[in-house]
Structure formats: C-alpha cells, structure tokens
C-alpha cells in the first residue's frame, strides 16, 4: 500500500473555491504595508519571491528579515465558507491503510481549518507544515528530506499529490510517484516528471489505488 503525501490548498479542495485567491490578496496587502510599497509593486515582489524562493514568505525572510509568524497569521485570516464537505473523500481516506500526510507550505492551523471544512481532519494521520520544514518550502529538496525522515517514508512506496508542477518535479527526482491536480489535463500530460494528471483528488486517489492493486 502506497503512503500518501497530499498538498493542501487547491488540492484537497477545488481551485474554484477561490481560497488561495484570498491568500494571494492578503500577501500583497502584507507586503505593501510592511515594505511601504504600492499594491502594484507588492504584486511584483510577491511573484518574484515565489518564483525564486518557493514561497513569498521565504523571499521576505531572506531579503527583508520579515518574521514568519505575523505574515502567516495575516495571510491565513480568510473566509473558508466556499469549501464544501467531501464525504466520498472522507470515506476513501478512512478506509485507506497507507500513511496519509498533509504536506503544505502553509501552517498547521490553516490546514486544520481547511481539513475540518472538508470533513477529513480525523482521516489524516499527520500534518507537515512550513514550521516543521524550518520555513524552507517546497520545492526545496530539504523539506522533502525532512518529511521523509520524520515519517520514515520510502520514496519508492510514496505518492505525492500537488497542484504545482515544480513541487512534483523535486518529488520525482527523489523517487516519489507524482500526481498533479489541475484542470488543464492535456497541458501537463507530456511532463516526464508527472505520473498522473487529474482534475480531482478523489479521482486521482482511486486511479492510484487501482494502478497499485494491479501492479501488486
């Protein structure tokens, strides 16, 4: 049975819930206020640091000595009302015997709030957040090594689900099976570091489970 590393935002709930767009807006506001720049300039800084450092926070820590706790508290103070319960996902995870770990660049508090809304909190074994990673985010290989060590995972017996291709590229290099959760299925099917592309986590879980059973 494969162990599961599951990303949080835009993976356990659909992108159409528009949760991350709220976080995105909050990040721009935080940068604008704390660096005394316009919202337009804050947007440029945000995207630059995300691209270069894996998360906006990591860039702010490296280049501006921003403390992580105030940033994380501010950007995760959002409305989760659009997230719906997913009883089918709950039942699948409840009956799945492999390890089920949330692997997120967000905080544990945010993950608990989201997982509670989806109704799968009690079906997850553990949450590995940005604090556990010592604020070194995906796709940096150090965070993957930390999660593998913490939960005694075998990369060859682990599959990772994420909505960001770059995060899966690192996982693939380590030997972890990869599943991209995206609407644009055809766009990513040719990426050699992605094993499966699906527009829905539950569908991907069934697909992985079926493939694993066949291979066994």
Task: Domain ranges for the chain, please list them.
Answer: 3-13+84-215, 19-75
pLDDT digits (tens, 9 = 90+) for 17-40: 999 899 999 999 999 999 999 999
Residues 6+ apart with CB under 8 A from 138: 54, 103, 105, 144, 162, 164, 167, 170
CB of 213 within 8 A of CB of 200? no
Same fold, 3-13+84-215 and 19-75: no
CB of 172 within 8 A of CB of 93? no
d(C-alpha 151, C-alpha 170), whole Å: 18
Q: What is the pLDDT of residue 187?
A: 83
Q: Kindly provide the b/e burial profile for residues 70-82, where b requires at least 16 CB atoms within 10 angstroms of the residue's own CB.
A: ebbebbbebebee
Helix (H) or strand (E) holding 143: helix 141-150
Q: Which residue has the tokens 């995906």?
A: 138
Q: For 145-169, what is the mean pLDDT?
A: 97
Closest CA to 130 of 9, 2, 4, 3: 9
pLDDT digits (tens, 9 = 90+) for 70-124: 999 999 999 999 999 999 999 999 999 999 999 999 999 999 999 999 999 999 9
CB of 27 within 8 A of CB of 202? no
Tell me the CA distances in angstroms from 140 to 80, 116, 122, 134, 144, one per residue in order: 28, 28, 29, 12, 7
CB of 38 within 8 A of CB of 32? yes
Q: Which CATH superfamily is domain 3-13+84-215 in?
A: HAD superfamily/HAD-like (3.40.50.1000)
Look at residue 133 and tell me whether its pLDDT is greater than 90.
yes
Instruction: Report the predicted TM-score, pTM, of the whole model to 2 decimal places.
Output: 0.93
d(C-alpha 159, C-alpha 98), whole Å: 11
CATH code, 19-75: 1.10.150.450
Q: What is the pLDDT of residue 212?
A: 72
Q: What is the pLDDT of residue 121?
A: 98
d(C-alpha 186, C-alpha 189), whole Å: 5
């Amino acid at each position: 049975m494969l162990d599961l590393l599951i990303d949080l935002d835009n993976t356990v709930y659909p992108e159409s819930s528009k949760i991350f767009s709220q976080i995105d807006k909050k990040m721009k506001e935080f940068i604008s206020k704390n660096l005394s720049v316009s919202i337009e300039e804050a947007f440029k800084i945000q995207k630059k640091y995300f691209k270069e450092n894996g998360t906006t926070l990591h860039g702010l820590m490296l280049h501006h000595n921003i403390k992580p706790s105030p940033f994380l508290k501010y950007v995760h103070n959002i409305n989760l009302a659009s997230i719906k319960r997913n009883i089918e996902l709950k039942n699948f995870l409840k009956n799945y015997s492999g390890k089920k770990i949330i692997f997120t660049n967000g905080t544990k508090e945010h993950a608990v709030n989201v997982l509670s809304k989806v109704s799968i909190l009690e079906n997850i074994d553990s949450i590995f957040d940005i604090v556990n990673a010592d604020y070194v985010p995906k796709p940096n290989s150090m965070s993957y090594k930390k999660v593998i060590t913490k939960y005694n995972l075998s990369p060859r017996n682990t599959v990772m689900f994420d909505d960001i291709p770059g995060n899966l590229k690192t996982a693939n290099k380590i030997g972890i099976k990869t599943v991209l959760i995206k609407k644009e299925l055809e766009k990513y099917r040719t990426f050699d570091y992605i094993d499966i592309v699906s527009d829905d986590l539950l569908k991907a879980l069934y697909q992985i489970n079926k493939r694993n059973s066949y291979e066994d």
